[in-house]
Amino acid sequence: EIVLTQSPGTLSLSPGERATLSCRASQSFGSSYLAWYQQKPGQAPRLLIYGASIRATGIPDRFSVSGSGTDFTLTISRLEPEDFAVYYCQQFGWSPTFGQGTKVEIK
Amino acid sequence: QVQLVQSGAEVKKPGASVKVSCKASGYTFTAYYIYWVRQAPGQGLEWVGWINPSSGDTNSAQKFQGRVTLTSDTSISTAYMEMSRLTSDDTAVYYCARDRPPDYWGQGSLVTVSS
């Protein structure tokens, strides 16, 4: 099983700042099988980006991803008020796994 | 529009089984996988399994193998997740979602296991 470790656990930032979220895998896998989700309290997760930086429908371009192999990064270029949430990375190969999440909170 | 509508909340006793349904609409049911993901209270997301409604092929996380059964009825565009031998650790919101990776999600079904 591929274990995904996200860091930091919590990121305290102000609107307008840049957010950098890390996702590290226990073994290498193709970035085409990586996805990122956003989840707000009481809501189902929302797909943000998958594969090689393919943004899901309606996701603004302030969200971007980078990395390969075992180290991946989600970047939110300028935080908007609606971006404060929990973010999960996922590898969606034959046996998918999720990271434990990073909470982006208002500083 | 794509919709996944799940069955309602359930309360079960330890050792019992639960079956959650997920009715799809707005797309061709057999064209996309159905994912099942759960989330315990205050915790992160955990993949349970997936089913290919077209072929009936399934795969589930190793920790659930032997305890979870994923099925689908293409005639009514509905997927099912049944979990047996429930314990309090299975208390969670169970989500169904479309495709790999999941792009549309159901509203979630709360399963509470309590004596």
Residues near A57 by beta carbon (within 8 Å), at least 6 away in sequence = B103
**Long-range CB pairs of A24-29, under 8 A, 24+ apart, other chains included:** A24/A70, A24/A71, A24/A72, A25/A69, A25/A70, A25/A71, A25/A72, A25/A91, A26/A2, A26/A70, A27/A2, A27/A70, A28/A69, A28/A70, A29/A2, A29/A69, A29/A70, A29/A91, A29/A93
Would you call A70 an interface residue with chain B, using a CB distance cutoff of 8 Å?
Answer: no
Rounded to whole angstroms, the Cα distance separating B46 from B1 reads 27
Would you call A2 an interface residue with chain B, using a CB distance cutoff of 8 Å?
Answer: no
* A89, burial (CB in 10 Å: exposed 0-12, middle 13-18, buried 19+): buried
Vertex A100 angle, CA B70 and A53, to 5°: 85
Nearest to B50 by CA among B85, B102, B110, B8: B102
Are B66 and B60 in contact by the 8 Å Cβ rule? The answer is no
For chain B, the residue count is 115
pLDDT tens for B10-46 read 999 999 999 999 999 999 999 999 999 999 999 999 9
Are B94 and B107 in contact by the 8 Å Cβ rule? The answer is no
Nearest residue of A to residue B110, measured between CA atoms: A42
Rounded to whole angstroms, the Cα distance separating B35 from B20 reads 13
CB contact under 8 A, A57 and B100: no
pLDDT tens for B66-97 read 999 999 999 999 999 999 999 999 999 999 99
What are the CA-CA distances from residue B85 to residues B47, B66, B110 (Å)?
Answer: 18, 10, 17
pLDDT tens for A34-74 read 999 999 999 999 999 998 789 999 999 999 999 988 999 99
pLDDT score at B100:
87
Mean pLDDT, chain A, rounded, equals: 95
pLDDT score at B62:
93
pLDDT at A22 over 90: yes
Nearest residue of A to residue B63, measured between CA atoms: A1
User: How many C-beta atoms surround the C-beta of residue A94 within 10 A?
Assistant: 9
Q: Reduced to 3 states, what is the DSSP secondary structure of residue A95?
A: coil
Residue B47: list chain A partners with CB under 8 A.
90, 95-98
Q: What is the DSSP-derived secondary structure letter of residue A56?
A: P
Rounded to whole angstroms, the Cα distance separating B4 from B80 reads 12
pLDDT score at A55:
94
For chain A, the residue count is 107
The contact set of B with A (CB < 8 A) is 35, 37, 44-47, 50, 59, 61-62, 95, 97, 100-103, 105-108
